[in-house]
Amino acid sequence: MRELTRTAGGRVALGTLAVLVLLAVVLPLVVDDSTHLVDALQPPSAEHWAGTDHAGRDLLVRVAQGLRVSLLIAALSALVSVVLGVLVGAAAASLGRWADALLMRTGDAVSALPHLVLGLVVVALYPGSVVAIVASIALTHWPTVARLVRAEALAVRSSQYVDAARLAGASRWQLLRRHLVPAALPQALVAVVLLLPHAVFHESTLSFFGLGLQPTQASLGTLLAQARSDVQLGAWWSLVVPALALGATTVAVGGLGRGLTDALRSGDAMSEAEVHA
């Protein structure tokens, strides 16, 4: 965190993400979001800063609710994807030979398929299911994490302290649990953050196409899908506000991921300098 907050980009990304999370958590609790059909599609005003939607609900509150749902689904999808990638990458580095080749070729096959198309196929089987959305995102993004973890684990496996542990009688499982997986955890942390904007985008796209969450459930994707008909009635704010929230979330989380990557590299450089000293 110290390295992350040293750069202006890291501070801006962290601050923007904190504001968005605070908005998503607090705003629905303090502002009324009940339906008032008489106030449907009202433009932004002092009473409703972002206007109202087609049901007369405060659009800013709806966007906050959608942001909360999209971030939760994205975080869960990123965690599942990273856990799967860590397991596959560590197993490939530990088992070696045919198992390594099989697991990596499987990852290459998944990466060769368009992620969004594959996600649409998975979600189309169970439309409206949160589990299906999480599975569609996780199953299409684990190969990148697996390759990173495998590369880090292979580097650690050839180190002297791993050789010493192997000579001391450590089993393959002990080497994997005590040395290979812990060495890959920093990369896994960065991977979680870097996967978040992809997961937010995929969830929003799936819901926009009508294959994600139900239209009655607030998410950035369902709000954008509803905005297609509202814009035709002149309610431009119904499209602009959710789109701005989606863009701000993607940029903030992406900037946080880049900041974590730079912080990790800086920490590695400092560690190497201390070793040489």
Q: What pLDDT shows up at residue 181? A: 76
C-alpha distances (whole Å) from 19 to each of 13, 22, 25, 88, 249 are 10, 5, 10, 35, 10
Radius of gyration, alpha carbons of the chain: 22
Polymer length of the chain: 277
Q: What pLDDT shows up at residue 260? A: 73
Q: What share of the chain in percent tops pLDDT 90?
A: 0
Q: What pLDDT shows up at residue 267? A: 56
The per-residue pLDDT for range 171-208, each reduced to its tens digit, is: 777 777 777 777 777 777 777 777 887 788 888 888 87
Q: What share of the chain in percent tops pLDDT 70?
A: 91
Listed in sequence order, the residues at least 6 apart from 237 whose beta carbon sits closer than 8 Å to its beta carbon are: 43, 44, 50, 51, 59
Reported pTM? 0.78
Confirm if 3 and 263 have CB atoms less than 8 A apart: yes
Report the DSSP beta bridge partners of residue 52.
Answer: 58
Quickly state the pLDDT bin for 70 (edges 50, 70, 90): confident
Is pLDDT at 270 greater than 70 in this prediction? no
Quickly state the pLDDT bin for 56 (edges 50, 70, 90): confident
Which of these, 210, 224, 206, lies nearest to 59 by C-alpha position?
224
C-alpha distances (whole Å) from 149 to each of 13, 44, 89, 159, 209 are 26, 48, 5, 16, 34
Lookup: tokens for 261: 């990557």
CATH top-level class of 50-248: mainly alpha
Angle value at C-alpha 32, between 28 and 37, nearest 5 degrees: 125
> Residue 114: which H helix or E strand, with range?
none
Kindly list the domain boundaries of the chain, sorted by start residue: 50-248
| Eight-class DSSP state of 31 | S
Q: What pLDDT shows up at residue 197? A: 79
Burial (CB count <10 Å: 0-12, 13-18, 19+), residue 100: middle
Average pLDDT value over all residues in the chain: 80
CA gap 201, 110 in Å, rounded? 19
Which of these, 187, 76, 177, lies nearest to 132 by C-alpha position?
76
The per-residue pLDDT for range 211-220, each reduced to its tens digit, is: 777 777 888 8
